[in-house]
Structure 1
Amino acid sequence: MKTFCSWSGGKDSTLALYHGLKKFKVDYLFTMLSEDGIHSRAHGLPKSILEKQANSIGIPLITKCSTWGEYEKNFLDFLEEYAKGGMGIFGDIDLQEHLDWVENVCNKKNVRVFEPLWRRNRREIVEEFLKLGFKAKIIAVKKDLNIEKYLGKDLSFDLISEFESIGIDACGENGEFHTFVYNGPIFKNPVDFEIGTCVEKSKNLVLEIK
C-alpha cells in the first residue's frame, strides 16, 4: 500500500505530513503544477523549491501539470499510477467542499483519506505548527486586503495576533495569505532559497521564491 501527501509546500500540508509520518511510511509528496510545469498550481511555488523541500524531508516528489479544468482528471491519473488502493494525506481544516472533493476523487481509485487537521481550531493549528519549531514565510496575500506589508515576514505568534486584530484568519483559510515552509522537525536541513520580486496575479500579490 502506497501513501502520499498532497503537498503545497505551505504550513497546512506540512503539519498534515508531520502527523502522517507519526502513523505511516509516506512514499511520495504530490504537487499539481500549472500547465507550464514551472510553478505549483495552488501556491505558485517554483518546482525547484518544491524539490528542495522534498530533498530535505527525504521523500520523493511527484508532480503533474494541469489546468484547473483538467485538475481532477490529472489527479485521478496520479492516483491510478502511484497510489491506487493506498492512502492520501491532506491538510484540509474545515472547508466542507474541499473534503467532499478529496473523498469523492480518492474513492474512485480506492484510496483512503487521512485528514489530521480536520475540524480542529484554526488558531490552535497555527500555534501547534509554531510550537513544533516549523519556520514559514508569508509568500502571497490577497490584493484587495491591502496587507502586502506582510509579504516576506516569518509566521509567528505575534503575527497571528496582528492578523486576527485586523480580521485576518489565523490560518488564512479564506485565502488571505499563503506560506512557504523552509525548516522544521521533519526537515534534515533548512531549505536554501532567495526572495525575489513581488508579482501581481489575478487575485494575489506573490513573492517570487528561488
Structure 2
Amino acid sequence: MKAFCSWSGGKDSCLACYRAMREGLEVCCLLNMLSEDGSRARSHGLRAEVLMAQSEAVGIPMIQRAASWESYEGEFKRAVLALKEEGIEAGVFGDIDLIEHREWIERVCRELGVKPVLPLWGSDREEVMEELISAGFEAVVVAVRKDALGPEWLGRGIDDRFVDELRGKGIDLCGEEGEYHTLVIDGPIFSRRLVIERAEIVDRGEVTFLDITGFKLETKG
C-alpha cells in the first residue's frame, strides 16, 4: 500500500516512517506543513530548506504546503487529495498518545478516504527512545520550551545520557507536551547524512530555537 508520511523532521515522524516501512508500507512522499509565509516548518520552526535537504538525505520526495493555523486543515486536505490522485491510500503519523491529535487524524483521513496509520500509538516512552537510539537514528534538539529546558540543551544529540537526564528532571522522555523538538540528521532510512555547519540560538516567545543557517549533505560510509 502506498502512503505519505506527515513529516515534521523530528524523531517521532521519522521513527513512525521507519516502522511503517518495516511493516510493508511503501512511503512515497513526506508531507510537511509550513508557516503562512512558507519559510519555516509550522511544528518545529525549522527552515523549509533544511527540511527539503533532509528529504533528499532520506531519498523520499517532500511536498511542502504553507498555511496559517486557520487554513491548516484545508491546505492539508488539498495536499492529500492531490496525493490520492497519484495512488496514495494511507497516511503515516507519529503521534504517541495525544487523543485530540488522533481524533483529528482519524476524522480528516475518514473525510479524505485514506487509511490512518499510527505506528507509535500507545508505545511506551522508554521503548520509543530505546528503539530510536538502538536503530541508529541521530537526532539533535532544535527547540526547547523555556519553562522545561534551558538553551544549553539546543544542539544536543539524543542518546542514553540525554534520556537519563530527562528522566531525572521528570520531563516526558518523548517531549509530547512540547518540552523539546528534534531534527533527525541520520539513520537507517537515510541514504546520506545531513550535517549542520552553522546555527544560532533564537528566542521566540515561550520557545528557544536552534536556527540552522548552514548545512550540507554528506555521503555515508
1:166 matched to 2:164? The reply is: no
SS in structure 2 at match of 1:194:
strand
How much does 1:2 deviate?
A: 4.0
Partner of 2:115: 112
Query: Separation in 2 of the partners of 1:106 and 1:99?
Result: 10
Secondary structure of the residue aligned to 2:116 is: strand
Task: Indicate the SS of the match to 1:123.
Answer: helix
Counterpart-to-counterpart distance in 2, 1:111 and 1:53: 26
Separation in 2, partners of 1:98, 1:147:
27
Shifted more, 195-204 versus 102-111: the winner is 195-204
Contact 1:4 1:83 in 2 (8 A): no
- Are residue 91 (structure 1) and residue 94 (structure 2) matched? yes
- Greater strand share, structure number: 2
Structure 2 counterpart of 1:105, which letter?
V
Runs of 4+ in 1 over 3 A off after TM superposition: none
AA aligned opposite 2:11:
K
* Residues 2 and 83, structure 1, Cα contact 8 Å, conserved in 2: no
C-alpha separation in 1, matches of 2:38 and 2:90: 25
Q: Which runs of 5+ in 2 are unaligned?
A: 214-221
Deviation per residue, 1:45-73 (Å, 9 max, x gap): 11111111111111110010000111111
SS at match of 1:191: strand
Q: Secondary structure at the match of 1:190?
A: strand
Query: SS at the partner of 1:20?
Result: helix
Q: CA deviation at 1:94?
A: 0.5
C-alpha separation in 1, matches of 2:158 and 2:207:
18
After superposition, the C-alpha distances for 1:158-193 in whole angstroms (9 at most, x for unaligned) are 111101101111101111000000001100111132
- Match of 2:193, SS state, is coil
TM, length-normalised to structure 2: 0.91
Taking the TM superposition and a 5 Å limit, the aligned residue runs for 1:43-54 are: 43-54=44-55
Aligned to 1:60: 61
| Counterpart residue type for residue 6 of structure 1 | S
Give yes or no for contact 1:4–1:28 (8 Å, CA) kept in 2.
yes
Q: CA RMSD in A?
A: 1.3
Give the distance between the partners of 1:96 and 1:89, measured in 2 at CA.
16
Asked whether 1:148 is paired with 2:158, we answer no
Tell me the TM-score normalized by structure 1: 0.96
Q: CA deviation at 1:202?
A: 2.4
Kept in 2, the 8 Å contact 1:79–1:106? The answer is no
Counterparts in 2 of 1:122-201, with a 5 A limit? 122-201=125-204
CA distance in 2, matches of 1:133, 1:192: 16
Instruction: Give the secondary-structure state (helix, strand or coil) at the position aligned to 1:35.
Output: coil
- Separation of aligned partners in 2, 1:60 and 1:80: 17
